Chains A and B, each alone.
Chain A
Amino acid sequence: MSIELRNITKQFGGVSAVNDVSFTVADGQLVALLGPSGCGKTTVLRMISGLEAPTAGDIFVRGKRVNDVPVQKRNIGFVFQGYALFRSMSVVDNIAFGLKIKRWPKAERAARVAELIELLDLNNLEQRLPHQLSGGQRQRVALARALAPKPDVLLLDEPFAAVDAKIRQELREMLVSLHHELNVTTIFVTHDQEEAMEVSNRIVIFDKGRLAQIGTPREVYEEPASEFVARFVGVMNVLDCEVRDGVARFGELEFQAHGTADGQRLRIGFRPYAVQVSNDLTAHRHRAVLRHTYFLGVLLRLELELPSGLIIRARMSKEEYARLNLAEGREVSLQIRQYRVLSREGESLPPEVSVTHSLSLSPGEGI
């Protein structure tokens, strides 16, 4: 195990920012710490770096407890949201800073800096000062500076939040390819679930200072451990149903609920992609009216209103939309092919109960 957190708690003036969090990150992984702002993810990152000390619990790096190792000695690379470049130093001096402190010989230092300039595509910017660079370039310099001393772990705090959308996309791809190339254990903090899904191979989700779920992007998306995770990672329709005769009902929608006593309440969730829509009104059991279509690019999001007034969200490709000859105001039929019981009577369920129910899902459809 490369990094392990055991029962980490952090309090600021009596208020818990992080509460009894434990997880491990294996060597060479690219992990996202995901959650809404104020959920404690940045505090966790800062505790791993040594910039913050845990109130309770232990942090291990390669099996060695590092609680008392100062930040200077942890051999980490840290990238800050606001770049935090040394503004009196040129690009080259910024990158070489860590190497100078670690007393690398001059020739090796120059070689390493040149290597990073190449790697992060900073050619011809060597002698610029930070204020003469664009946001994306600054963040690349910050990455180069953090990577230069060959850190054991690379930590990034909301690294792409301060740049515009196009550059953010480029930087994400750059981070993935850098990780591929260098294979350095990397942990980054983000509040953007799309970014976490796209970049990382494992996601740690936080909710109010507690660990909500840890898993691969696919796991947290398809098997969310709680309603919070389900709603935070992607879009989910959530219905509060009452069980009668082993069936959970909400308006005209019905879901199988074996093993749940009558009168209990279940929260049922289904993703927009699980809603199958047809222009043949006899194809599926439920009728609905297409109220609104949102064009998101290749995919469209539909708002469908059932006769009871319930509005559910569905998703389909542009081609499918055209093929079905859909338009706002048109009547359709629909069925829900896949749903998930999220909680019972307000209690979250053990994993063996909270499984995903599917209706004859053909392969390749679970987009």
Chain B
Amino acid sequence: MAENRFRVLPGFGLTMGFTLCYLSVLVLVPVGGLFLRTFSLSWADFWRLATTDRALAAYQLTFGASLAAAVINAVFGTLLAWVLVRYDFPGRRFIDALVDFPFALPTAVAGLTLANLFAENGWLGQFLVPLGIKGAFTPLGVVIALTFVGMPFVVRTLQPVLENLDRDVEEAAATLGAGRLRTFLSVIAPTLLPPVMTGFALAFARAIGEYGSIVFISGNLPMKTEIAPYLIVIRLEEYDYTGAMALAVVLLVISFALLAVINVLEQWANRFAK
């Protein structure tokens, strides 16, 4: 920005300064504080606190369930976005509005509702539990809750891209003899991959951080259905701040690494963009 080019709306200095301040106060300082606090621990202590059996089980559940939920959302969210954009049917606007519901609903309410629904005597549970599908107080319940909260991310990321898809390109494929499946796979899918990955990353990140809905549906059994954020809360309740910090740092580092990888993949998938 060394060149002094004319701009209709000046103010790079002011807006950039504000952006840096804002990000520092909201993100950098808290995260930095977290790291500094953990640095007071020796490496051996940190490792011991961060890798207890209970903690490992919690990481596994958190990341495994988040991944599963994000994959489910990527597939069905894409389908939902496709239907909402491509077809006009009665009630389309209602369903479209419904997609935002998980954004607006307090997560605790969502958790409570889902737990009731899938409990042995719940509306769905009374049919599913005899079939061996236990939705409440199991890892499956965690996946269900995370799928619920992550759903809007994929749909809302994909919708504008689908709306801007050129029909011409599909027609061009058809005039060249391509059937529907071929057209979808070779022409549409490469365009949709980047936004699907963005939606996936957002849903995944949201799922890792989710707490409110899961504490109700999972039952929080140590080693079985206890998620990492919940374990952090337990450590805090035990006044074990350093233990909580150690867990938090692990969550932070893994999340950051995963998002970085997804970002790189996304750029690769987006290499055709104009």
Chain A interfacial positions (CB closer than 8 Å to B)? 49-51, 71-74, 76-78, 80, 82-89, 97-98, 101-102, 129-131, 142, 145-146, 149
> Are B168 and A80 within 8 A (Cβ)?
yes
Q: Give the contact-size bracket for chain B.
A: 20 to 34
> Are A76 and B273 within 8 A (Cβ)?
no
> Are A80 and B172 within 8 A (Cβ)?
yes
Q: Which residues of B contact A142 (CB under 8 A)?
A: 172
> Are B168 and A51 within 8 A (Cβ)?
no
Q: Which residues of B contact A78 (CB under 8 A)?
A: 171-172, 175
Q: Which residues of B contact A77 (CB under 8 A)?
A: 175
Enumerate B157-203 residues with CB–CB distance to A below 8 Å.
166, 168-169, 171-179, 182, 186-187, 190-191
Pick the residue among A74, A76, A129 that contacts B272 (CB under 8 A). Answer: A129
Q: Which residues of A contact B186 (CB under 8 A)?
A: 86, 89, 97
> Are B176 and A82 within 8 A (Cβ)?
no
> Are B176 and A101 within 8 A (Cβ)?
yes
Given contacts A51-B175, A72-B174, A78-B175, contact A84 B168 (CB under 8 A): yes
- How close is B242's CB to chain A, nearest CB, in angstroms? 50
> Are B177 and A101 within 8 A (Cβ)?
yes
> Are A146 and B272 within 8 A (Cβ)?
no
> Are B169 and A84 within 8 A (Cβ)?
yes
CA distance A139 to B176 in the complex (A): 16
Chain B's closest residue to A86 (CB) is: B187
Q: Which residues of A contact B273 (CB under 8 A)?
A: 87, 131
CA distance A142 to B169 in the complex (A): 11
Q: Which residues of B contact A85 (CB under 8 A)?
A: 169, 172
CA distance A85 to B186 in the complex (A): 12
CA distance A101 to B176 in the complex (A): 8
Chain B's closest residue to A76 (CB) is: B175
CA distance A71 to B187 in the complex (A): 17
Q: Which residues of A contact B174 (CB under 8 A)?
A: 51, 71-72
> Are A51 and B171 within 8 A (Cβ)?
yes
Pick the residue among B168, B173, B187 that contacts A82 (CB under 8 A). Answer: B168
CA distance A142 to B171 in the complex (A): 13
B274 contacts the other chain (CB 8 A) = yes
> Are A87 and B191 within 8 A (Cβ)?
yes
> Are A149 and B166 within 8 A (Cβ)?
no
CA distance A72 to B174 in the complex (A): 5
Pick the residue among B176, B182, B272 that contacts A87 (CB under 8 A). Answer: B272
CA distance A51 to B273 in the complex (A): 27
> Are B171 and A84 within 8 A (Cβ)?
yes
> Are A88 and B177 within 8 A (Cβ)?
no
CA distance A176 to B179 in the complex (A): 32
Other contacts beyond A88-B272, A102-B177: 9, CB < 8 A: A49-B175, A50-B175, A72-B178, A76-B175, A87-B272, A97-B186, A101-B176, A142-B172, A146-B176
- How close is B195's CB to chain A, nearest CB, in angstroms? 14
- How close is A84's CB to chain B, nearest CB, in angstroms? 4
User: Can you list 10 residue pairs at the A/B interface with Cβ under 8 Å?
Assistant: A72-B177, A80-B172, A85-B172, A86-B173, A88-B187, A88-B191, A89-B186, A97-B186, A98-B176, A142-B172
